[in-house]
Amino acid sequence: MATIGERTQKPITCASCRKPFTPSNPRFTTCYDCHQKHRLGEVAPAFPKGYLEKGYFSNAEKGVVYPDLLTGDADVIARALAEADVSMAQLRRYFNMARFLQNRLESGEDYEVIANQLRRMKANVAAVVGRIQDSRERDRLARTLKTFIDKNLDAAVQSCLSFKKGFLLHFECVLSYFYWHKSQMGGGRRGA
């Protein structure tokens, strides 16, 4: 039996800085230092260090996506988006735009035209976030939603393979985890 003050939790990885730590409470997902930075008003990064610096693929020739982009990183990003109060409609809007562009690509449209449409999505998200009147909400969405879209579109326009096998697959996983986190926060679908 554990004594008072003894930690019985297993070490986990901080959702912010990715360093291992032992939480004093199982619901804590960030280490003490990251929690303090956030509490004192310093913005903790919403994305894992080095996010998409190497692109989507561990083996580009075979189209093998880094496993973390489909699991761990996708979960961390989805949690950050959910905690920033990104709505399902906001995230789903950009996913649907990407799927629409995928359909156009599959119907024979040239990839260069599709890549330019992807670049336009960056302007679209900037306009959507920029129109928000409340400065706190605007900053929160700029750190999460806009950064997520911008980083992914920068990687997606590199090649047709990056768009189809990297961006869309990663975005789908983020969206799935996002649904989970929203449901845990009481933001699930109405009437379900």
Give me the residue spans of the domains in the chain.
Answer: 1-44, 56-184
pLDDT, tens digit (0-9, with 9 covering 90-100), for 52-103: 989 999 888 888 999 999 998 999 999 999 888 888 999 999 999 999 999 9
Dihedral angle, C-alpha 140, 142, 148, 154, nearest 10 ° = -170
Q: Are 140 and 44 in contact (CB under 8 A)?
A: no
For the ranges 28-32, 38-42, 127-131, which has the lowest average pLDDT?
38-42
24-28, 72-76, 82-86, 118-122: segment of lowest average pLDDT: 24-28
Which pairs count as long-range contacts for 120-128, CB under 8 Å and 24+ apart, including other chains?
Answer: 121/94, 121/97, 121/149, 121/153, 122/149, 122/150, 122/153, 124/97, 125/94, 125/149, 125/150, 128/90
The pLDDT tens digits of the residues spanning 129-183 come to 988 888 888 888 888 899 999 999 999 999 999 999 999 999 999 999 999 988 8
What confidence tier does 40 reach under pLDDT thresholds 50, 70, 90?
very low
